[in-house]
Amino acid sequence: MVRTRFAPSPTGHLHIGNARTAIMNWIFTKHSGGKFILRIEDTDVERSSQASEESIIEDLKWLGLDWDEGPVVKGDYGPYHQSKRLELYRKFAQELLDKAKAYECFCTAEELKTRREQRVKAGKSAVYDRRCRNLTPDQKEKLKNQRRKPSLRFYVDQDIIAFKDIIKGIIDFREEEFGDFILLRSDGMPMYNFSCVVDDHLMKITHIIRGDDHVSNTPRQILIYQALGWKPPEFAHIPMIMGKDRTRLSKRHGATSVSQFKEQGYVPESLINFLSRLSWSSESGDEILSKERLIKEFDFKRISQSPAVFDKEKLDWMNGVYIRKMSTDEFYQAVSPFFQKSEYADRSPEVLKRVASVLQEKVEKLSQVVEKAKIFFQNEIVPENEKTKKVLETTEAQKVISELLTGFQKTDHFNGQVFLELMKKVQKNTGVKGKDLWMPVRVALTGQLHGPNLTDVVEIMGIQKCIHFLEKSSII
């Protein structure tokens, strides 16, 4: 059975690149009928936090990525926090030491830095010079008496390490590219490459899908698998996500965490659709793909080896498509949290729902509803710019405003249909048609040149507010 894992470090928010990795693992697992495991890699004690872990879990749930084993969900291969698996790492570290596949290193950080700089200056590789590889028992004892706490290094005895990547094909590394690497720090905490190999093996992970910034970690991990007599899983390294300037996606490109996109009003379905299609494409060529289609059509062969460019404009467009697919009730539920944090929180739910239904076709992000809703609730009209203001300054515009104001003042019963009938009378009585007829009314009632259907606007605003705004605009 296929078993994949997503293993974030709880040292901050869930980055959009890591979310893409989780999505690809989840989709492939669902496609294969396997198990998706969530593991928390929290051995970086200084930087890890409970708040970060909770934030990551909340973001994964918001995206709809359910896991079969991990935190909150019971499984047969726990615990699913690395901080609770330290004895396991020490056990297998001792096994490697007993097999002479690892050795104690007593070098201090300062010594390592000095010798590394000397090697680089001499034109040699910056890897560890293996000073402690062949220490005698007496030399080790002497160093221990100096109260030096040793780290544990892997004994690399292969010149070339090669592996087959599902996406990239055969990849090989030479030993001098990484040298004898550390398995356990001097404080006994495991290094990433060692702990994840132990966990992936014991949790029976069959496929490791991750960003190609991890390619250089793979030869180290394969060496550990071999030394412990374990079969490595299959590896698939997906291209990195780049900004439009072709540099790695970072804060300078805008939002980079899932929580930021959530706060800006993106919906989880569009984010999954968008991220899954970075470097992957459907054979159909379709842009909009439901979760069901993503799962059904997934194929590693359709993953490009080229870096993926994060096109925010395309994401905005895609998010708008998903928003317009929502029912009125679904959309209102989605935008309600944004209303509740705004100045309109005390408005009646019925009014807010009507406003939301009118604006649904006009937004690409849920958060935009609050800004666009102001035309329904403003008490004074301020034209958005000089061009807008000039619309009301023509003789024809003032005729239209005056005629419509008279019609409003004579009306007892008012709704959208009544408004349309009044506009027909205004056209007949003034002779003004088309844009010249409607644009002054829109500006007078909203202060904008473009916006929602005016019939909906006047119904929601009500006749008294319409009269007030028309009176104000008739004396400009």
All structural domains of the chain: 86-238 (3.40.50.620), 326-374 (1.10.8.70), 378-473 (1.10.10.350)
As a whole number of angstroms, the distance between CA 353 and CA 364 comes to 18
Counts of helices then strands in the chain (DSSP H, E): 21, 11
Helices 50-63, 16-32: inter-axial angle, 10-degree rounding = 50
- Residue 243: the pLDDT is 85
Residue keyed to tokens 């970075």:
278
| Candidate list 74, 121, 231, 251, residue with the active-site label | 251
At 76 the three-state DSSP class reads coil
DSSP label at 309? E
- Residue 169: the pLDDT is 96
Instruction: For residue 466, give both structure tokens.
Output: 């319409």
- Residue 465: the pLDDT is 92
Instruction: Please check whether residue 334 is in contact with residue 326, taking contact to mean a CB–CB distance below 8 angstroms.
Output: yes
- Residue 474: the pLDDT is 74
Residue keyed to tokens 């996606």:
249
- Residue 384: the pLDDT is 83
Could you confirm whether 251 is annotated as catalytic? Answer: yes
| Exposed/middle/buried for residue 464 (C-beta within 10 Å: 0-12, 13-18, 19+) | exposed
Q: Which amino acid is located at 182 in the chain?
A: I
At 314 the three-state DSSP class reads helix
Compute the radius of gyration of the chain from its Cα atoms: 32
- Residue 416: the pLDDT is 87
- Residue 264: the pLDDT is 95
Question: Would you give per-residue pLDDT tens digits along the chain (476 residues)?
Answer: 999 999 999 999 999 999 999 999 999 999 999 999 999 999 998 899 999 999 999 999 999 999 999 999 989 999 999 999 999 999 999 999 999 999 999 999 999 999 999 988 888 888 999 999 999 999 999 999 999 999 999 999 999 999 999 999 999 999 888 899 999 999 999 999 999 999 999 999 999 999 999 999 999 999 999 999 999 999 999 999 988 877 887 766 666 899 999 999 999 999 999 999 998 999 999 999 999 999 999 999 999 988 989 999 999 999 999 999 999 999 999 999 999 999 999 999 999 999 999 999 999 999 999 999 999 999 888 888 888 889 988 999 999 999 999 999 998 888 889 999 999 999 999 999 999 999 999 999 999 999 999 999 999 999 999 999 999 887 54
| % helix, strand, coil for the chain, step of 5 | 50, 10, 35
- Residue 286: the pLDDT is 94
Q: Return contacts of 366-369, CB within 8 angstroms, 24+ apart.
A: 366/265, 366/266, 366/267, 366/323, 366/334, 366/335, 366/338, 367/263, 367/264, 367/265, 367/338, 368/265, 369/265, 369/335, 369/338, 369/339
pTM of this structure: 0.90
As a whole number of angstroms, the distance between CA 82 and CA 88 comes to 10
- Residue 113: the pLDDT is 93
Instruction: For residue 347, give both structure tokens.
Output: 């408005």
